[in-house]
Amino acid sequence: MLNKDAKPGRRAADQAPGAAAPKLAQQLSLVAQCVRGVMQGQSLNDLLVEVPGRLRPGVQALVFHVLRRQGRARALVRRLAPRRPAPAAEALLVSAVALMADALAGQEAPEGLRYEAHTLVNQAVEAAKRRPETGRHAAFINACLRRLLREADALQAGLDEDPEARWNHPAWWVERLRQDHPGHWQAMLEANNRPGPMTLRVNRRQTSRDAYREVLMAAGVPATPVGEDGLVLARAVPVGELPGFEDGVCSVQDAAAQLAAPLLLEGLPAVRADAGPLRVLDACAAPGGKTAHLLELADLDLLALDVDAQRCERVRDNLRRLRLQAQVKVADAGQVADWWDGRPFDAILLDAPCTASGIVRRHPDIRWLRRAQDVAQLAATQARLLEALWPLLAPGGRLLYATCSVFRAEGQAQAEAFLARHTDARSDRRLGHLLPGNAGLVADFADNVPGGYDGFFYARLDKTAS
């Protein structure tokens, strides 16, 4: 049964000194607009940019939680309203029901997202009245939510037979994971519905990881070491509160993404035979986290490409903050004739476009934006990029193929097909899928970390010297 006695939660963003806490109704109205946008195929990042800055942290926390519970919420709304409501009313209703979902399932909502049930009903109705497109549906929304309070058990009966309602992912996504990872799929789906920890990469050109950990401890932010340069924070903090962040001392980057640079450079000579720096290509570089990590680890002649001019500017911004230098160029890595100068690369990082199915705990809208056919389309793009870039690699060089995906078509199957096509390619055992959260590791190059990894795939492909 729904816990009607839970205390309403308040987020830190609602408690800024000297600022009145925004009403839940005001936030719910904005949350519903974001949810409606995602239903219509818009990226949540783009939608949140339109939210006023003072309200954005609280709205983001709420909308992330709603999207992590949206499958069950939509199933309940279908039972509450056999005729599909108007899009704006449906989005608001789904948002309110999703915020009740944990209590309906007998679970406790995360800290800061706990609201008394009748408060949610009243504030959802007030939110409806705030906008013309929902105002005429206020009585309908009120009736649906009050019926949910009265008939929660009956309305939820049998919901777990619907994969989308049970796992809060599209049914096709659930089935693909079940086939790709039969021993881990349930744990992966559960991990996706929990937020990932905030993880930092310390810029070793400015300080050591252990020294910066002491600085964080003094600032009241405990952290646990991970990998070579990483720190997993005990709690998330705004980047503006991280000591030295604006001066390039650290960056925010998940532990899985921090594996790319050392995997690419491990065992390669520090310089070329002609005593020059290694020539490295980061083929799909934006927003530049892996680009920067490579430059923090070694002195490189590095070219960073991205097809999007605005995203290239983000790479440049990141490099300036970290006091690093690279050539950044707007180009499609697959259209080699448009940008390559004919000189081979010693190492290539191909962090290829993918479904991003491994990072949905940080980007909960992705699961609702992707379609089943996207997997094959993106796998074809990945294969095209691999074929285009392999000839650019010098004999004895290395290509690291990476995706932030847990689908085998974008990882293991892609790498195996490439190795079958290319007799001059060899792979050590540095390949495999990392599974999100603590769902398990199907890779031989990583250890468990606090809070777990994002989902990723890596394959290290070496070109024979002959």
Return the pLDDT at 273: 78
CA contacts within 13 A on the Cβ side of 397 = 23
Q: Is 188 exposed, middle or buried (0-12, 13-18, 19+ CB in 10 A)?
A: buried
Q: Note whether residue 312 is domain-resident.
A: yes
Is residue 235 domain-shared with residue 334, that is, in the same domain? no
What is the spatial distance between Cα 4 and Cα 115, in angstroms, rounded to a whole number?
9
- Parent domain of 136: 12-162
What's the chain's Rg over C-alpha atoms?
Answer: 24
Is residue 219 domain-shared with residue 364, that is, in the same domain? no
CATH number at residue 423: 3.40.50.150
Backbone angle region of 41, left / alpha / beta, with phi > 0 → left and psi within -120 to 50 → alpha: left
Q: Which long-range contacts (C-beta less than 8 Å, at least 24 apart) are formed by 266-275?
A: 268/346, 268/347, 268/398, 270/298, 272/346
In the sheet where 425-434 sits, what is the strand order?
A: 327-330, 300-306, 278-282, 345-351, 393-403, 456-463, 425-434, 441-442
Is residue 236 domain-shared with residue 264, that is, in the same domain? no
Q: Note whether residue 229 is domain-resident.
A: yes
Residue 347 DSSP SS3: strand
Q: What burial letters (b/e) apply to 328-348, b meaning 16+ CB within 10 Å? A: beebbbbeeeeebeeeebbbb
| Spatial CA neighbour of 104 closest among 129, 80, 86, 125 | 80
Is residue 392 domain-shared with residue 454, that is, in the same domain? yes
Q: Note whether residue 192 is domain-resident.
A: no
Other beta carbons within 10 Å of 150: 10
Catalogue the active-site residues: 404
CATH number at residue 236: 3.30.70.1170
Q: Note whether residue 168 is domain-resident.
A: no
Q: Note whether residue 87 is domain-resident.
A: yes
Structure tokens belonging to residue 340: 């390559």
Is residue 435 domain-shared with residue 395, that is, in the same domain? yes
Return the pLDDT at 5: 31
SS3 content of the chain, % helix, strand, coil (to 5): 45, 15, 40
Is residue 299 domain-shared with residue 371, that is, in the same domain? yes
Is residue 386 domain-shared with residue 313, that is, in the same domain? yes
Dihedral over Cα of 24, 25, 26, 32: its sign: positive
Residues 6+ apart with CB under 8 A from 18: none
Q: Note whether residue 337 is domain-resident.
A: yes
CA distances from 197 to 65, 194, 245, 300, 358 (A): 15, 9, 18, 31, 14
Is residue 261 domain-shared with residue 240, that is, in the same domain? no
- The DSSP 8-state label assigned to residue 160 in this structure reads G
What is the spatial distance between Cα 259 and Cα 373, in angstroms, rounded to a whole number?
29
Is residue 265 domain-shared with residue 381, that is, in the same domain? yes
Structure tokens belonging to residue 34: 């974001």
Q: Note whether residue 186 is domain-resident.
A: no
What is the spatial distance between Cα 162 and Cα 152, in angstroms, rounded to a whole number?
17
What is the spatial distance between Cα 195 and Cα 372, in angstroms, rounded to a whole number?
24
Q: Which residue has the tokens 């006695």?
A: 5
pLDDT average per 10 residues of sequence, the chain (466 residues): 33 39 88 98 96 95 97 97 93 96 79 86 95 94 96 95 97 98 94 94 97 97 94 94 97 96 93 88 97 98 97 97 97 97 97 97 97 98 98 97 97 96 89 80 73 92 91
Enumerate the β-bridge partners of residue 103.
none
Q: Note whether residue 73 is domain-resident.
A: yes
* Parallel/antiparallel/unpaired status of strands 345-351 and 327-330: unpaired
Q: Phi/psi at 215 (nearest 5 deg)?
A: -65, -45
CA distances from 73 to 68, 80, 212 (A): 10, 10, 43
Structure tokens belonging to residue 159: 């919901």
Return the pLDDT at 432: 87
CATH number at residue 115: 1.10.940.10
Is residue 375 domain-shared with residue 268, that is, in the same domain? yes
Is residue 239 domain-shared with residue 305, that is, in the same domain? no
Considering its fold, how many domains does the chain have in total? Answer: 3
- The DSSP 8-state label assigned to residue 186 in this structure reads H
Residue 199 DSSP SS3: strand
Is residue 296 domain-shared with residue 420, that is, in the same domain? yes
